[in-house]
Structure formats: structure tokens, C-alpha cells
């Protein structure tokens, strides 16, 4: 059996909000295989985005342990976490987070600046990835000149630019129309097929078509599909 | 992150917010321009004062006189330096041996003895008469003492003299009646003048000696001792002194009345003057006076610079405010930078660089405006002061506002540092943001 690529044990994340403690994650244990396509499903407030940010080293847990690619994220300093994000993770966000003043090429190449890559190599890599996501002819366009779907494809190209092993996508289709969303799903599926580990947080049930594994979160806990479905049905028909 | 990439990113970010950067930089422009203009003005005033002071005399020359202890010394015939009322242990005479000691001081270019005429001397030119100071110098040409001729040359010879430009003003008509217009000062250049030296015996009988002297040069005005002096060869003055005192003077025992010590480097003058004083002589240099004046102008520069720096301080608050606003607006961008692998140090460098960039751009504008304004003030002030000098006499100033090369460089570095320090707190806030909080910031 493969060593898990991600291992999470007793993961908790509590926030203080207006004097009350919000238990965003309340004891999550899970293992994710390498080269898998995992979809984390859950309603709003279930803790799925919190899980994604913790796995990506963008936040620190209240309790519990996280290993990604054999590296513990618990006892590392900020600098090491930044290097971990640079080398291991590619993020895709719901709101794209592209820098408006930069062209598509510059946005894609942006993370490589922090890795110290030379400008020629950066541009070559950005152009290559933009072609891969079908935007070879849009390299010199700024985000405002691109549609939502195109912007998300630029963001995916940016996530790939440092050749990460893990792609973490937070509601990647959340701001897109149906057709654009489907295209993004297909793109993420292609990344999985090319050998990367992909973890997508979504409440878009269509994404499960591409998934090799589904994880359901409710109130900060991992639940079975049956529990999740019954909870969702309960919400849909409260009477 | 490569330094060039950092620079490109910083200036790219600044150019995204041109209007805001320009408005913030205007404060720095005003502050830097104020520093440049005010300090240039203080330096200009100092140079002007020094130009006037340099006219007083050569600042690299030290006048050395013998020291006679605590009381005056009367050197009698055949007497040595230990005669008289001064404490013998503190008496130092300018003997030939002493001259060698002075020459041995490191940094001394040359040492030249001078002798005053110790007898009554009157000059006569046609029907005019005058009383003058006669100094004998141990050089063949006064040029080697740093003197320049306004007319003729500065070479000396037996009965060939060079006079100061004011010597002619000492001539008067002894037969002038009250109410009569005094004659204008004669032009003595290339003229023969009569010099009458007098001595008196114990019974009060006067003996006169007539010398005919040729004026072969008139010195340039320096507003110092040389303006009113007739220069003769040292040996001739020595001979006249021996004639007047009816005895042979042994300079190895009695020493010269004065020695000029020329120093190679103007910065060493005070040190060497101190050494000479420690050797037991009296040393006088206008340099100590000049140093006092310079200290005053340095304080003036600091005060003027401080006034400009206050304007820069106000600008610094503006930069801090702009950066704080910029960081608030770009919180998500900071989150993204961290998500894609920027370290805290990278973020700090970017925002500190942007703040420094505002300081640098403002400083560049300020230096340019300050320098240009200085040039305009300079032209206007020099014209005005020259007119004043023309009407009231005196040396017209060559410069009123002077900007040395180091000042714009200093102002530019200073304004950049002001920018950097202003951006320190906002940049630290940006660098230490928790990535997830920054990404979720609305």
C-alpha cells in the first residue's frame, strides 16, 4: 500500500468570534493517497475551506497534526512554511486572486520570482502553461480583458508554474457559469491524470464525477456519505 | 528573489498608483529642496566669508616670533637671549639653530626669517615724504613667499625694492597749508625714491644715511601687513640695523625678530602652530580665526539642514500614511504573495522598497528643484552683492549659494532613508500578516 500523501490526525481549528468559540474543524482524521483526486464536499460553514488552508500551510491548527508529502507542518517556522507552499502546493481560489495590473503571462510567472528563476525561464514556462490551459493567445491580456473562466484558467496555470505535487482548489467553479465551470473541472481532472494529487473543496456535486475519493464534512467533522446526504435532505425539507 | 526583479516589482507597483505616489512624493520634494537650498546657502555664505578671509593673508603661513618668558627682554650689545627680565628657561630666540628645528617639523615647506628695520626711516619722493615699515626678507623673489605683483615684478635686489599697494597713501606734502587739497597718492612704480635712515648718539646728535631705492614692483592688495610694507633684501636691512645700533649683530645668538613658516597642507597649519608653541616660540596664524568662523558656519548648516529636515519629517508622515493605506487595499494581494511562496522577508522587502522608492523619487525631484533654485538665487544674489560691493568697497562675492557634489548625493540618500523608515511599520505589518486572514480580507 502507498504511503499517504496527506495525513491528518486529530485536527482542530477553533476561532473566537464575538466572544463565542467557533469550532471550524473539530477533530478531523484522514489520509489521502498520492496521485488521487479528492473532492471535499460540505455545506457552507462545514470547515472545508479551513481544512484546505491548513493543508496548504496558510494557517496553523489549534490542535492536531498534519503531514504533507512526509513533512510535518506543525513545528515549522514561517519561512519554512513559505518554502513548503512555494515548492509543494499550487493554490486555486474561488475569486481567482489575479493581480489586475499584470498580464496573464506576468500573473502566471509571478510565483517564480520568489523562487529566483530568471526572467526568460519564467516567461517560457508561463507561455507553455498558458498554452496548456488553452490561453496561448491571451498571454498579454490583463485580467479585466478576460472572462471569468479564462481568469480561472490563468490562476490554474499560475498554480502549476512551480511544478507542485499538490493542487489545492477552493471552490474553483464557484464564480463561474456552468460551461466555464465544467471546463475548469475537466482541466483539474487532466492535472490529476498527469500525476498530480488534487484536492478540491466544493459544494458543486458535478465535481464528484472526476473524483477518486470523496470526503464529506459536516460541522467540522468528517462524516459518511449517508450521514451527509441525510443532513442535506433534512436541510432541503425541514418539515 | 532577484534584486532586479524586486526593483522591477517595486517600480511596477509604484507606477500603478501614479497620482497617489506623486502627491506623497511632493512632500519629499519640498523637504529635500529645502534641505538642498538652505544648506547650499549656508555653504555659499561660508565660502564667501572664507574668500574674504583668505584675502587677509596666506592661511598656510605661520608667523613665528621669539618668546621672552614672562617679561620683556632687552637685548643689549653683545647680549644673548638670556639677558633681560624674562625667565631664561622660557626664552626661545629665533636663532639659525631654531630655524633648522622649525624646518625639521614634518609638513613644513619652507622657513624664512624676516627682520624689521630698527631705526627711524623716512621716504621721500619728489616733494612728498612718508613714514613706512621696512621688512627685510631672506628671498630673492617675493613670489616664493606667495606674493603677487600688481605692477612690475616681485624680484628683490640691493636697493631694488617691492612695495605694498598702500605705501603710496603714506606720502604727504610737508609744505601743505591748512585748507589746501592734499595731493593724490603718487604712482611709485618704476620710480626712484629716497630713503633716509636716522640714528642718534648719546648726546642726541642725529646722523643720517641716504639711500636711493628703485621701486620695481607693486604688490597686489591683500588687506594685510604687506599692503603697507616696503620689502628689501634681508642682508641690506641687517646692515642698516647694525649701522643704526653701531654694533655687529650675531643672529646665531640674538635670533631674528620674526620667521615665516610655510606649511604644505592648510589642514596641518593648526597642528604645526601648536608644535611651534610647544617648542617655546610664539606662533600666530589666521587659521585659528578662520576655524572659528568655519565652526560657526557648520552650526549654521546644521540649523538650516534641520529646518529642511522638519519638512522632510512631515513628508515622512505622508509616506507612512500612503503605505498604510496601500497595505490595507492590497491585503489580498499580500495573502496571494504568501500563498504562492513569498517569505515574510520578501513581502517586507517589497513594501520597504516601495516606501524607499517614494522617498527616492521625491528626493530626486527635490535635489533637481533645489539645485535649480540655488542657481537662480545665486545669479540674483551675486549681481546684487557685487553692486553693493562696488558702491561700498570690498571684494565682490563670486558665489552666494554653493551646492557641493556631496550635498545632492547626501540629500538623495537621506530622502530614500526617510522613505524607508516611514514605511517600516506598515511593511512589518504586511510581512507578518497571517496568509489566510489576508486572503479572506474584504
Q: A82: which chain B residues are within 8 Å (Cβ-Cβ)?
A: 338, 341-344, 346
- Does position B81 have pLDDT exceeding 50, yes or no? no
Which of A15, A62, A82, A162 is the best substitution to test chain B (most B C-beta atoms within 10 A)?
Answer: A82
Burial category of A21 from C-beta neighbours within 10 Å (exposed 0-12, middle 13-18, buried 19 and up): exposed
Mean pLDDT, rounded, of chain B: 86
pLDDT at B321 over 70: yes
pLDDT for residue B317 is more than 70 = yes
- Give the whole-angstrom CA distance, residue A72 versus residue A56: 12
Last residue of a domain, one of B284, B310, B326: B284
Q: Are residues B47 and B93 in the same domain?
A: no
- In this structure, the answer to whether residues B278 and B313 fall within a common structural domain is no
Under a CB-based contact definition with an 8 Å cutoff, are residues B279 and B261 in contact? no
> Which of the pair, B80 or B386, is modelled with greater confidence?
B386
Per-residue pLDDT reduced to its tens digit, B113-132? 988 888 878 899 988 998 88
Q: Which domain holds residue B400?
A: 3-55+292-440
All cell numbers assigned to B52? 574674504
In chain A, residues with a C-beta closer than 8 Å to the C-beta of B16 are 101
Boundary of a domain, candidates B258, B284, B310:
B284
Strands B192-200 and B120-125, by their bridges, are: antiparallel
In this prediction, residue B343 carries a pLDDT of 94
Quick check: A119 and B5 CB within 8 A? yes
Instruction: Give the helix/strand (H/E) hosting B65.
Output: strand B61-65
Any chain B CB within 8 A of the CB of A83? yes
Residue found under cell 593648526:
B270
If you average pLDDT over residues B268-287, what whole number do you get?
87
Whole-angstrom distance, CA of residue A102 vs CA of residue A141: 8
- pLDDT for the residue numbered A236: 63
Residue B266 CB neighbours (<10 A): 13
Q: What's residue B119's pLDDT?
A: 81
| pLDDT in the model for residue B69 | 67
- For residues B326 and B261, membership in a common domain is answered with no
Query: Nearest CA to CA, how far is B38 from chain A (Å)?
Result: 41
Chain pair A-B, CB pairs under 8 angstroms: 69
Q: Nine-digit cell at B323?
A: 503605505
Q: How many domains are there within chain B?
A: 2
What pLDDT, on a 0 to 100 scale, did the predictor assign at position A237?
A: 63
| A80 Cβ under 8 Å from any chain B Cβ | no
DSSP designation for A119: H
pLDDT at B262 over 60: yes
CA distance linking residue B345 with residue A77, whole number of Å:
13
Shared-domain flag, residues B267 and B306: no
Is A91's CB within 8 Å of B339's CB? yes
Residue B392 banded pLDDT, cuts 50, 70, 90: low
pLDDT in tens, B340-374: 999 999 999 999 999 999 999 999 999 999 999 99
The three cell numbers locating residue A94: 474561488
The confidence band for B182, taking pLDDT boundaries of 50, 70 and 90, is confident
Residue B86 backbone dihedrals phi, psi, to 5 degrees? -75, 150
- The verdict on B258 and B113 lying in the same domain is yes
Which regions in chain A score pLDDT beneath 50?
A: none
Q: Does one domain contain both B410 and B300?
A: yes
Average pLDDT over residues B263-275: 87
Q: Alpha-carbon distance B413 to B356, whole Å?
A: 10
Please tell me the predicted confidence (pLDDT) of residue B120: 78
Q: Which chain A residue has its CA at the smallest distance from B16's CA?
A: A101
Residue B70 has pLDDT above 70, yes or no: no
Mean pLDDT of B234-253: 88
- B26 with B78, same domain: the answer is no
> How close is the nearest chain B Cα to the Cα of A196, in Å?
17
Assign 3-class secondary structure to A148-202: HHHHHHHHHHHHHCCCCCEEEEECCCCCCCHHHHHHHHHHHHHHHHCCCEEEEEE
Pairing of strands B258-263, B108-116: antiparallel
Is the pLDDT at B301 greater than 70? The verdict is yes
pLDDT value at B173 more than 70: yes
Question: What is the maximum span of chain B, computed from C-alpha positions, in angstroms?
Answer: 116
Residues B210 and B232 in one domain: yes
Cell (9 digits) for B73? 627682554
| Sequence-separated (6 or more) residues with CB below 8 Å from residue B69 | B85, B86, B87, B88, B89, B90, B91
Please answer whether residues B377 and B388 qualify as being in contact, where contact means their C-beta atoms are separated by less than 8 angstroms.
no
User: Looking at B284, B306, B335, which one is the last position of a domain?
Assistant: B284
Task: State residue B361's pLDDT score.
Answer: 94
pLDDT tens by residue, A72-109: 998 899 999 999 999 999 999 988 999 998 999 999 99
Is the pLDDT at B92 greater than 70, yes or no?
yes
Instruction: State whether CATH 3.40.50.300 applies to domain A34-59+78-236.
Output: yes
* B338 to A85: CB separation less than 8 angstroms, yes or no: yes
Tell me the chain B residues in contact with residue A56 when contact means C-beta distances shorter than 8 Å.
Answer: 339
Amino acid at each position: 500500500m502507498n504511503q499517504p500523501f496527506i495525513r491528518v490526525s486529530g485536527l482542530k481549528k477553533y476561532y473566537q468570534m464575538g466572544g463565542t468559540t467557533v469550532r471550524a474543524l473539530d477533530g478531523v482524521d484522514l489520509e489521502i493517497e498520492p496521485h488521487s483526486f479528492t473532492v471535499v464536499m460540505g455545506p457552507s460553514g462545514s470547515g472545508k475551506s479551513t481544512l484546505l488552508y491548513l493543508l496548504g500551510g496558510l494557517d496553523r491548527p489549534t490542535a492536531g497534526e498534519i503531514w504533507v508529502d512526509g513533512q510535518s507542518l506543525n513545528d515549522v517556522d514561517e519561512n519554512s512554511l513559505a518554502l513548503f507552499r512555494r515548492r509543494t502546493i499550487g493554490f486555486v481560489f474561488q475569486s481567482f486572486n489575479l493581480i489586475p495590473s499584470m498580464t496573464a503571462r506576468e500573473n502566471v510567472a509571478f510565483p517564480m520570482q520568489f523562487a529566483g528563476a530568471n526572467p526568460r525561464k519564467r516567461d517560457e514556462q508561463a507561455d507553455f502553461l498558458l498554452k496548456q490551459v488553452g490561453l496561448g493567445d491571451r498571454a498579454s491580456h490583463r485580467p479585466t480583458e478576460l472572462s471569468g473562466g479564462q481568469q480561472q484558467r490563468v490562476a490554474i496555470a499560475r498554480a502549476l508554474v512551480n511544478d507542485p505535487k499538490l493542487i489545492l482548489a477552493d471552490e474553483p467553479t464557484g464564480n463561474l457559469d456552468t460551461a466555464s465551470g465544467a471546463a475548469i473541472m475537466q482541466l483539474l481532472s487532466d492535472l490529476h491524470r498527469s500525476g498530480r494529487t488534487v484536492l478540491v473543496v466544493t459544494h458543486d456535486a458535478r465535481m464528484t464525477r472526476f473524483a477518486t475519493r470523496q470526503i464529506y464534512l459536516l460541522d467540522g467533522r468528517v462524516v459518511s456519505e449517508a450521514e451527509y446526504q441525510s443532513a442535506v435532505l433534512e436541510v432541503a425539507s425541514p418539515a | 528573489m532577484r534584486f532586479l526583479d524586486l526593483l522591477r516589482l517595486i517600480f511596477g507597483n509604484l507606477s500603478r498608483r501614479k497620482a497617489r505616489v506623486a502627491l506623497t512624493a511632493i512632500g519629499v520634494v519640498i523637504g529635500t529642496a529645502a534641505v538642498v537650498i538652505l544648506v547650499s546657502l549656508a555653504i555659499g555664505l561660508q565660502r564667501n566669508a572664507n574668500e574674504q578671509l583668505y584675502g587677509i593673508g596666506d592661511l598656510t603661513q605661520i608667523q613665528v616670533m621669539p618668546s621672552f618668558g614672562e617679561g620683556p627682554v632687552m637685548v643689549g650689545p653683545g647680549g644673548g637671549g638670556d639677558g633681560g627680565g624674562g625667565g631664561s628657561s622660557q626664552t626661545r630666540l629665533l636663532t639659525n639653530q631654531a630655524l633648522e628645528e622649525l624646518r625639521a617639523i614634518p609638513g613644513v615647506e619652507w622657513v624664512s626669517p624676516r627682520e624689521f628695520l630698527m631705526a627711524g626711516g623716512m621716504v621721500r619722493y619728489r616733494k612728498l615724504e612718508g613714514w613706512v615699515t621696512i621688512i627685510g626678507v631672506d628671498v630673492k623673489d617675493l613670489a616664493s613667499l606667495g606674493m603677487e605683483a600688481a605692477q612690475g615684478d616681485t624680484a628683490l635686489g640691493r636697493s631694488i625694492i617691492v612695495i605694498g599697494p598702500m605705501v603710496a597713501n603714506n606720502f604727504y606734502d610737508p609744505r601743505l597749508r591748512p585748507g589746501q587739497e592734499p595731493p593724490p597718492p603718487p604712482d611709485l612704480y618704476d620710480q626712484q625714491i629716497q630713503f633716509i635712515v636716522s640714528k642718534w648718539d648719546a648726546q642726541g646728535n642725529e646722523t643720517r644715511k641716504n639711500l636711493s631705492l628703485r621701486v620695481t614692483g607693486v604688490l597686489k592688495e591683500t588687506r594685510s601687513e604687506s599692503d603697507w610694507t616696503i620689502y628689501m633684501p634681508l642682508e641690506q636691512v641687517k646692515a642698516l640695523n647694525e649701522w643704526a645700533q653701531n654694533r655687529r649683530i650675531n643672529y646665531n645668538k640674538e635670533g631674528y625678530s620674526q620667521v615665516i613658516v610655510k606649511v604644505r597642507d592648510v589642514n596641518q597649519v593648526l597642528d604645526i602652530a601648536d608644535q611651534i608653541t610647544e617648542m617655546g616660540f610664539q606662533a600666530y596664524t589666521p587659521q585659528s580665526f578662520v576655524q572659528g568662523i568655519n565652526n560657526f558656519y557648520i552650526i549654521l548648516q546644521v540649523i538650516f539642514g534641520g529646518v529642511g529636515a522638519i519638512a522632510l519629517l512631515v513628508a515622512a508622515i505622508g509616506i507612512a500614511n500612503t503605505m498604510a493605506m496601500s497595505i490595507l487595499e492590497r491585503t489580498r494581494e499580500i495573502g496571494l504573495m504568501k500563498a504562492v511562496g513569498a517569505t515574510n522577508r520578501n513581502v517586507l522587502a517589497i513594501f520597504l522598497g516601495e516606501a524607499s522608492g517614494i522617498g527616492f523619487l521625491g528626493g530626486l525631484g527635490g535635489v533637481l528643484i533645489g539645485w535649480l533654485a540655488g542657481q537662480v538665487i545665486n545669479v540674483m544674489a551675486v549681481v546684487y552683492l557685487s553692486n553693493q560691493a562696488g558702491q561700498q568697497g570690498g571684494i565682490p562675492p563670486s558665489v552666494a549659494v554653493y551646492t557641493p557634489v556631496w550635498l545632492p548625493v547626501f540629500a538623495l540618500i537621506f530622502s530614500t532613508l526617510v522613505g524607508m523608515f516611514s514605511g517600516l511599520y506598515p511593511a512589518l505589518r504586511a510581512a507578518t500578516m497571517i496568509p489566510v486572514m489576508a486572503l479572506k480580507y474584504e
